[in-house]
A and B are shown apart, each in its own frame.
Chain A
Amino acid sequence: MFEFPDGYYADVRIERVFRSLIRIEMGRLEEVKEKSDAGAFIRLFDGKRWFYASTTDLSELNNELKQLAKLASPPDLAAIAKVTVRLENNSGDFCKYKKQSVAKVDLQQKIALLDSYAALIKDDSEVTHWSATYSDSRSEKEFYSSLQKEGLVFDTQTAGLRLGMRFGSGTNVFSETWCKAEVQFEQLNKLHDEAKQYIEQARDYYKRAEKIEGGIYTVVLSPMAAGIFAHESFGHKSEADFMIGDTAMLKEWQIGKRVGSEQLSIVDDGNIPGSGFTQFDDEGTRAKRTMLINKGVLQGRLHSSITAADLDETVTGNARSINFEYEPIVRMTATFIEPGQISKDELFAGVERGIFIDSVKHGSGMSTFTLAPSMAYLIENGKVTKPVRFSVITGNVMQTLNQIDAVSNKLEILSFVGGGCGKMEQYPLPVSFGGPYVRVNQINVQ
């Protein structure tokens, strides 16, 4: 089918994507869009450099391969083999969502579903601005390489809802978003009570939240906050492309090194259905469950074939791109903190005066991490007492990993639509994250 140039490693990834998007804002239908696109990304490796092309002309893929070969140097077979020996060369049809594709659901049904969620908020006199969005996508990928006799076909799918709401006006305003993603359209039919409860929580927060003095607090992170913390503060540091040719990083991030408290274990797993589901990555590698930190000790990192070859480790199924216009780079899938032994109540009971972060607007993590809370609460004598306002929590990542002293026993992994992870030029990539409730000491609240 494809004429792969002799001696080089080359692969072709064809993506066929169906998407729909519906948006209602302040009671008006503002956008209805349904589309199917196709494009391809081609890679060729000469042993020294990779050459990539992206195109929408699927009839010209062999020509694109030839053009890339013209740019390349003569193949260095030993250097090529160092990378290709890592590749799994999977083949076969692994599509999971063909029969229950969101593309088969009538657009009118999707509008009706979104209407039913908009109804929860549209007549609310305290909500000054709101929008409701439904979006779905099913992406089917075909992968062929110069090492395979047959191709690999697999798919991903999400369908989700977002309710954005703003309470109040002037100096007393509060914005919050409820967001939920599933893998089947039908799963979205039963979330009205959850959405309603969230709206009421946001209303209560808007009415009662008080400013709190900054300072050092014990903080309890919700599963959402814990997931963002794991993703931003540690997950990105486990992406091995930051370590290529970097001896200082490799020494610092040596497998077996203690990097956190005994309570802390972090996992990345592309097998989990949801927005981080990556059954195969964009090099055709099957998803793995990669233990990044095990009881505070560094145990693994995330790889593509390129980084695995450079570090002489094995691939982990984390070579991902946001779409056919980009090359796969090392990215997370579903990243979460593993649950522990104690109950949520027991975890809170250990806090005399602290902060509970329930929802988060955004987070970041270099040497210093931050989480900007959306809804946060004061904990007094082990109980959540009142909603509080502040800008961010922040701290040194490595010190904070050691300040985790308890994790609860129930894991929640959250999926989203309408955003994702950004790395360099590639944004947004769907990921999911989560954890149990996590208690951390000595956190700077600003």
Chain B
Amino acid sequence: MREKIVQQVKQTSLSIVQNKISAVRRKNIQKTGCRVMRDNKIGVAGGLGAISEDELFARAEKSLSWGVDYPTGAVSNLQSDTRLDELMIDDKQLCETVEKVLNELKRRHPDFAVSNKVNISNISLNIKNDNGLALSHRDSYINWSFLLKGNTSTGIMDTFFGLVDRKIESEKVIESTSQIIEAYKNLIELPVGDLPVIIDQASLTRLFQRDLNGKIAGNKASLLQKQFGQKSFADNFSVQIVNDPVETFGPAFDMEGSICPDELRWLIKNGVILRPYTDRRTAMRYGYENTCCADGAYDSVPSLGGCNLEISHSDKTLAQLLPGGKGIMIAIASGGDFTPDGSFASPVQVAWLTDGKQLLGRLPELTIKGSLFDFFGKDFIGVSSDKIYLSGNDRMLVTRLAVSKL
């Protein structure tokens, strides 16, 4: 059984320093990986650029002798072709567009500097094998990544704006960045009383990446080991694997070429922990269902890494989710972590007061604390139905955490 993976990245990257484009980088890199599977073993090889497929398969064949177990064999008879690569712009137009955005931001905010990167990427990933597997994913998108810094500030950066999009919507970028800058300049006191916290999902779901990993659960090493099949979180708290390319900017299939069926995407439903996430080898070894989360580089043995997790969103907008109409939105919380028992604490370098529609001002530096079983349990409020382009591409998680001034 022979399987071939081809990954292609074409990218133009603009470096930005003080609202000016300081550099233009172009790349076009192809990476090819070949796998050979035989007698429950796998051999892999890979290379860059125009490389002989025969040579790669010969190397993969040779590496079978190391005896890496792969008892599941390859995925067969599955075809998929996703085309999301509609964004087309040449380098000159891109430079002009970005320059206009930077100039407008400079005009509106002469006291703030914009730096870092705007990248436009055209990517593809193809997996094919002798068993009728033929998967293709193509996408193109622009990634705006602005570090924002006041002219009198003495830090590396004050705050940021980040957005990945399949359309170039300069006005949206200007308006959102402006709103962030205006809010940053308006330093306000932490309101008295118990306000909910609005935070990006990954900050708090990262413990699931570790403790719902099939290898960890299969070896009975998970914090949640005794809670599989049991209700552990709030009624309205559900977590699923998300593999929609429109949402994730990644392929629907995993690095083994599997696509997770809808019914297996739920890891937690209505507060009950249903299953760990797995790849084919992990599922077979520990008797779990395969949730199609094989990860790895183009030239690696596919294995269980992380997965895209999403808390199911409510039918309420962010504004509707805020009891009392206001909340604390975490913009930068760098350096936080969980203890092994599920307690979480993090300093918050930048946070906004918001009504769910607008940023009302910048709060002082804070500390947030909570326990996994509380902030996804009795304190869980919900996830917004709308996306706000002020803090990445996520729908925002609303819950209650202990908040105090640093």
Chain A residues within 8 Å of B, Cβ to Cβ = 25-26, 28-35, 37-39, 49-57, 71, 107, 111, 128-129, 166, 168-175, 211, 236-237, 241-242, 244-249, 251-253, 325-327, 361-372, 389-392, 394, 424-425, 444, 446
Contact = CB atoms under 8 A, between A and B. Distances in A.
B68 A394 contact: no
B339 A390 contact: yes
Contact of A169 (B153, B225, B303, B349): B225
Contacts of B347: 368, 370, 392, 394
Contacts of A361: 337
B349 A368 contact: yes
Contact of A173 (B28, B50, B152, B223): B223
Interface residues of B, number: 75
A54 B29 contact: yes
B113 to A, nearest CB: 7
A153 B43 CA distance: 34
B72 interface: no
Contacts of B343: 391
A173 B335 contact: no
B299 A363 contact: no
Interface string B21-58: 11111111110000000000000111111100000000
Contact of A57 (B49, B149, B223, B300): B49
The 9 closest A-B pairs by CB, nearest first: A370-B335, A56-B49, A128-B221, A364-B335, A252-B154, A391-B345, A52-B25, A50-B23, A372-B337
Contact of B299 (A30, A35, A241, A372): A35
Contacts of A236: 156
A225 to B, nearest CB: 13
Interface of B: 13, 15, 17-18, 21-30, 44-50, 63, 66-69, 91, 113, 116-117, 119, 145, 149-157, 210, 215-216, 219-223, 225-226, 299-301, 303, 332, 334-347, 349, 365, 367, 369, 406
B345 A446 contact: yes
A370 B336 contact: yes
A370 B268 CA distance: 31
A370 B339 contact: no
Given A361-B337, A368-B365, A394-B406, A173 B47 contact: no
Contact of A56 (B13, B44, B45, B48): B48
Given A244-B17, A249-B154, A391-B339, A28 B25 contact: no
Given A37-B47, A170-B226, A391 B338 contact: yes
Nearest to A444: B406
28 contacts: A31-B68, A31-B303, A33-B301, A50-B23, A50-B24, A52-B24, A53-B25, A53-B26, A55-B27, A56-B30, A128-B220, A129-B221, A169-B220, A327-B15, A362-B335, A363-B335, A370-B346, A372-B336, A391-B338, A391-B339, A391-B343, A391-B344, A391-B345, A392-B347, A394-B406, A424-B145, A446-B345, A446-B369
Nearest to B210: A175
Given A173-B223, A237-B156, A370-B334, A29 B67 contact: yes
Contacts of B340: 168, 171-175, 389
Contacts of A391: 336-339, 343-346, 369
A159 to B, nearest CB: 18
B219 A38 contact: no
A51 B18 CA distance: 18
Give the one of B21, B27, B152, B215 with max A CB within 10 A: B27
B348 to A, nearest CB: 9
A171 B223 contact: yes
A392 B153 contact: no
Nearest to A21: B300
Nearest to B334: A364
Contacts of A366: 155-157, 332, 334, 349
B345 A38 contact: no
A325 B334 contact: no
B225 A32 contact: no
Contacts of A362: 335, 337
A129 B286 CA distance: 13
A365 to B, nearest CB: 8
A99 to B, nearest CB: 25
B225 A30 contact: no
B300 A33 contact: yes
Contacts of A166: 216, 221
B185 to A, nearest CB: 15
Contacts of B219: 26, 128-129
A394 B21 contact: no
A325 B300 contact: no
A383 B52 CA distance: 63
Contacts of B24: 49-52, 71
Nearest to A50: B23
A28 B286 CA distance: 14
A295 B46 CA distance: 50
A168 B58 CA distance: 43
B69 A28 contact: yes
Given A31-B68, A424-B117, A446-B369, A242 B156 contact: yes
A443 B225 CA distance: 35
Give the one of B24, B45, B222, B332 with max A CB within 10 A: B24
Contacts of A173: 221-223, 340-341
A34 B299 CA distance: 10
B344 to A, nearest CB: 7
Contacts of A371: 335
B157 to A, nearest CB: 7
A111 B339 CA distance: 34
A390 B345 CA distance: 9
Contacts of B338: 391
A361 to B, nearest CB: 6
A362 B338 CA distance: 12
A300 B349 CA distance: 27
Contact of B149 (A169, A246, A251, A390): A246
Given A128-B219, A366-B334, A56 B339 contact: no
Contacts of A71: 24, 91
Given A368-B347, A390-B339, A446-B367, A246 B221 contact: no
A446 B151 CA distance: 33
Contact of B47 (A26, A32, A35, A245): A35
A266 B390 CA distance: 37
A401 to B, nearest CB: 14
A49 B23 contact: yes
A54 B25 contact: yes
Given A50-B23, A366-B349, 6 more contacts: A111-B66, A129-B221, A389-B340, A390-B339, A392-B336, A392-B346
B356 to A, nearest CB: 27
B301 to A, nearest CB: 5
B300 A31 contact: yes
Contacts of B45: 35
Contact of B18 (A246, A365, A367, A424): A246
